A = this chain, B = another copy of it.
Amino acid sequence: MANPVLVEVTRGNLVESRHRGMVAIVDGDGTLVTSLGDIDLPVFPRSACKAMQALPLVESGAADAFGFGNRELALSASSHSGEPEHVAVATAMLKAAGRDESVLECGAHWSFEQPVLIRQARSLDHPTALHNNCSGKHAGFVCAACHVGQDPKGYVTYDHPLQAEIRDVMADLTGSPLGHDNCGTDGCSIPTYAVPLRTLASGFAKMATGIGLGTERGRAARRIIEACMAEPFYVAGTRRACTRLMKVAPGRIFAKTGAEGVFCAAIPEQGIAIALKCEDGTTRAAESMVAGLLARRFRDEPEIADQLMGIANHTMRNWNGIAVGDVRVTDALFA
């Protein structure tokens, strides 16, 4: 059966485009709270699982040794816009480990955000690896490797001990096997492993609640989640969805996007986590889906729910500022 249409894009009085999706909401015990579409299909979490990938940085003691606070941990779990503040923190993290940008293996790209890109184009000859949206995660990788005496060279490869450790961490959290069979290469060159949304949500519910994790891992997971919620700008950037979602209810919502229409979120006080994917990989739809689902979870607090629904459903304007249509979630999202 086809995945349900969860987001519609309208123009005039008609629906112009339709986005299908899959959603799993799971609690800390692994109990499925909500299921839409095929949640057993393996999905590459891409950047949505960066908070999981940051665990070795904390568990190894590297974060403490280098004096990292919320901003550094948030940036380690970020897909940032390459704004000056992001670049500065990534630079400082590498410096703390006695390294510089030459150690980064993520590649370089201009900011995905047009206003940032325009400022970059006017001030830079070309972007560096520090401007890569993943530079915070990679700086965290380098710090984690250096702290335990690993040579960071090749830290993005499947066989580097850091990637092996991340594989173990993610297998522990998701309960899904990770290996060559379900491995792809991410945009920043590290391995990414396709797992069912059901298990991805379960992993984030464990991180948010600590249930089923050892004391040390539970504490490290909670510290990363709290760092992201405390410094949402460092998880994404100006006007970005992750940042906006977390600012709606400070300290109460964790949200992280991934390429190709993935979104993960958690509400620690409710003990649940969400993992979703827009079937066609479109970010606009994944953002509306997660905002709508979070709104429903906060329906008893209308001020929060309304702000979240304002992110889920929004008017599109053309180059003259004329309202031409809407992006809106469907009733099927709340089925």
Contacts and interface: CB of A to CB of B under 8 A. Distances in A.
B189 A320 contact: yes
B185 A107 contact: no
A132 B189 contact: no
A69 interface: no
A260 interface: yes
A183 to B, nearest CB: 6
The copy count of this chain in the complex is 2
A277 to B, nearest CB: 8
Interface in A1-54: 2, 9, 11-14, 16-20, 42-44
Contact of A182 (B14, B44, B322): B14
Interface string A104-145: 011111100010011001100000000010000000000000
Given A2-B2, A44-B11, A17 B281 contact: yes
B320 A107 contact: yes
A324 B184 contact: yes
Interface residues of A, number: 52
A298 to B, nearest CB: 28
Contacts of A121: 117-118, 121-122
A239 to B, nearest CB: 16
A315 interface: no
A61 interface: no
Contact of A318 (B42, B114, B122, B188): B188
Contacts of A187: 318-319, 324
Contacts of A186: 318, 324
Nearest to A1: B2
A15 B281 CA distance: 11
B110 A12 contact: no
A184 B279 contact: no
A232 interface: no
Contacts of A108: 319
Given A17-B281, A280-B282, A282-B280, A12 B320 contact: no
A154 interface: no
A199 interface: no
B17 A260 contact: yes
Interface of A: 2, 9, 11-14, 16-20, 42-44, 105-110, 114, 117-118, 121-122, 132, 181-189, 192, 194, 260-261, 278-282, 285, 318-322, 324-325
